[in-house]
Amino acid sequence: MATDGRIRPSDLSAVALRDRLAAGSLKAVDLARDCLARTKALEPEIGAFVWLDPDFVMHQAEALDRHRATGRPIGRLHGLPVALKDIIDTARIPTENGTGIDKGRVPEKDAFVVERLKAEGAVIMGKTVTTELAYMNPPATRNPHRTNHTPGGSSSGSAAAVAAGMVPLAIGTQTGGSVIRPAAFCGVTGFKPTFGAIPRTGVLRQSQTLDTVGVFGREPRDAALLAEVLFGHDEADPATAPAPHPQLFVTASEAPPLPPVFALVKPPGWDTADAETREAFEELATALGEAQCFELPLPAPFADAGDLRRRINFAEMARNYHRFAKAGPDHLSPVLREALQEGSSTLAKDYLAALDWREVLYAGLAEIFSHADAILTPAAPGPAPADLTTTGDPIFNGLWTFTGTPAVTVPVFTAGNGMPMGAQLVGPRGSDGRLLRTAAWLMDRLDPVAD
């Protein structure tokens, strides 16, 4: 909010901004100018962007306003600034993948998701900071709520930019917990869709079995607005398949036909959750009532899911990051070198066996989803640690990445130290719209708690 008490455009949700832009009561140049002003004021402290050109931003906004003045149809994201994680290729704009090895790299072609953004009238705001090659080495970005706390990783810059009001929307990726965790730590909505829903063409490949493009917004309807534009099929990404275009935003904006039912799941590693997290979920379950929220256990084989996901991740990363490893150990952080070494030593039979477990574990979720609309589980063991040498623990995220299920986190809790905490919801594959609707219902229901 402005110092004179007026609501600034960057104080509004993406959906509210979309409506004002479409109605003509807000110009794209005014929104862009406000986002740039906020970014200029906060960026030195937060460090969300690795590349930002204000002239480029304003040029796009001016062109969009001229287009609208002609009376021709406008795109679904007309005038909305969107930030991109710096592992997503942008034509004639640097994409350096968080590593000095790619310093000065400028792609010739846009990634699939960037093409979609431009086609729908989005303003490409800039490239956000990521961890080294989207792995675990902490970046320079700081948490907007308290700058001595980690923002998470590896989509740290995207989550922080949305949380700080620099942009209404941003795109990241998740291979373990790189959308859900930073969203929870920074107090925004993070949405990781069903595996294969959004093409990854033009995005740095770490693990072809796990990599998933995700989005950030203030609330689930914002995430639905952006994700719907990105869903699709691309022959260049074999994980995608032809399918009817999803109505994510309409579905997420509707009231559920019945109050949703939640299965409270304590995943492997539950003992790492801090006391505040456990208490928050116990209180939430009580508030929802036994008929609407009940605890269900995961089958025993899920105890090994973390190790299986790690084996796949590291083996595929060792293959896909071969060119980076060739640059020499001095160009890579110790934590990345260790992961590549572990991946290189993985036996083929162990890697293939781990792949087999993905569908087995997903089948094990069928019983839970037959009783509940969504799984309710923590997004992280606690609020963002007051430690800039870590990106936090993804222990409660990797399972859902491994099984390819959609997951969304909403900022409905506040820790005793004032830091946000997220509730993570998980649904069956392909239920993305319904999951976002359930998340919107929960966030609306708990809004007084979130305040």
Active-site residue set: 85, 154, 178
Distance CA 108, CA 131 (A): 23
Buried b (16+ CB within 10 A) or exposed e, 343-363: beebeeeebeebeebbeebee
Residue type, 206: Q
Return the residue matching tokens 């239920």. 431
Helices (H), 289-389: 305-320, 322-325, 334-344, 348-364, 366-369
SS3 443: helix
The 3-state secondary structure of 229-294 reads: HHCCCCCCCCCCCCCCCCCHHHHHHCCCCCCCCEEECCCCCHHHCCHHHHHHHHHHHHHHCCCCEE
Among 438, 431, 441, 421, residue whose Cα is nearest residue 400: 431
Chain length of the chain? 451
